[in-house]
């Protein structure tokens, strides 16, 4: 099935208007009209996939220490902001399905845990979104993780994520049979943009929080943008780019 690619994705769940990577953030994105959310998924010390960006707990929770060395009992008792708990991947998936949101699940492994994290996330995503009309997209900065995802859940579309794509990025996109290229808006070159357009590969850029920058990027042909400022772009969220992710 081919699914329209929304022009806007709420970054880290609900951007900066709600605690990042929380169910409250995803609910806010849906309420504001967003059709897609991106969130980061890492494994707990017990091997449970949960939404969190950093390898350590200090910045976004009232806990301390490393996510990958902390038990579920401890992690799920923490405050992730405004009384929100850290969500399990299964909870985020259920919410996205209920709202019909396209989920960009970013596989965010603790260092050294690329393969096991991708194994768990790919397998769980295949089960959690089984039969769903709107299927997720898996992305990662880790090519090793995307390779695992390609092999374990080939039916789930993949986006390759780079801060700055290397010169030979099309080779990796082909090898990983990826549907989209995701990169930093601040570092986007005309070469990468031109190559992506010539190959018909949708280009998604993070993180854009200023309307003039967004207009410039869409004007250059970027397909979709990730934003923290859900309030600024809510009016545009219903607009779909006439582009389809393959697969």
Between strands 3-6 and 240-245, the pairing is: antiparallel
Residue 11 falls in the annotated catalytic set:
yes
Which of Mg ion, ligand G3P, none does residue 220 bind to, with CB < 5 to 8 Å depending on kind?
Answer: none
| Minimum distance, C-beta of residue 162 to ligand G3P, in the bound complex (Å) | 10
Residue 53 falls in the annotated catalytic set:
yes
Could you say which of 7, 11, 35, 108 is catalytic? 11
Q: Is 189 exposed, middle or buried (0-12, 13-18, 19+ CB in 10 A)?
A: exposed
| Minimum distance, C-beta of residue 104 to ligand G3P, in the bound complex (Å) | 6
Looking at the Cβ atoms of 21 and 195, the one nearer to Mg ion is: 21
Looking at the Cβ atoms of 99 and 206, the one nearer to ligand G3P is: 206
| Minimum distance, C-beta of residue 139 to Mg ion, in the bound complex (Å) | 8
Could you say which of 17, 33, 53, 176 is catalytic? 53
Which region, left, alpha or beta, applies to residue 210 given φ > 0 means left and ψ of -120 to 50 means alpha?
A: beta
Query: Cβ atoms within 10 A of the Cβ of 66, count?
Result: 12
Alpha-carbon gap, residue 193 to 247, rounded angstroms:
21
Alpha-carbon gap, residue 190 to 152, rounded angstroms:
34
Which of ligand G3P, Mg ion, none does residue 226 bind to, with CB < 5 to 8 Å depending on kind?
Answer: ligand G3P
Question: What residues are labeled active site?
Answer: 11, 53
């Amino acid at each position: 099935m081919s699914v329209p690619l929304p022009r806007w994705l709420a970054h880290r769940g609900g951007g900066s208007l709600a605690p990042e990577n929380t169910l409250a953030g995803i609910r806010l994105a849906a309420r504001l009209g967003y059709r897609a959310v991106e969130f980061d998924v890492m494994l707990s010390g017990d091997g449970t996939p949960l939404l969190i960006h950093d390898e350590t707990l200090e910045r976004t929770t009232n806990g301390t220490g490393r996510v990958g060395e902390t038990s579920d009992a401890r992690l799920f008792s923490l405050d992730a902001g405004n009384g929100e708990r850290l969500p399990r991947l299964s909870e985020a998936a259920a919410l996205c399905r209920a709202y019909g949101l396209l989920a960009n699940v970013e596989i965010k492994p603790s260092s050294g845990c690329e393969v096991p994290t991708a194994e768990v996330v790919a397998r769980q995503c295949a089960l959690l979104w089984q039969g769903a009309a709107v299927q997720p997209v898996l992305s990662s900065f880790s090519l090793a993780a995307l390779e695992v995802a390609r092999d374990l859940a080939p039916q789930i579309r993949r986006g390759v994520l780079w801060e700055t794509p290397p010169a030979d990025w099309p080779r990796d996109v082909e090898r990983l049979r990826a549907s989209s290229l995701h990169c930093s808006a601040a570092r986007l070159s005309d070469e990468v943009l031109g190559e992506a357009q010539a190959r018909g590969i949708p280009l998604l850029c993070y993180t854009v929080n200023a309307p003039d920058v967004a207009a410039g990027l869409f004007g250059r042909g970027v397909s979709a943008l990730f934003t923290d400022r859900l309030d600024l772009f809510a009016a545009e969220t219903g607009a779909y780019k006439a582009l389809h992710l393959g697969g």
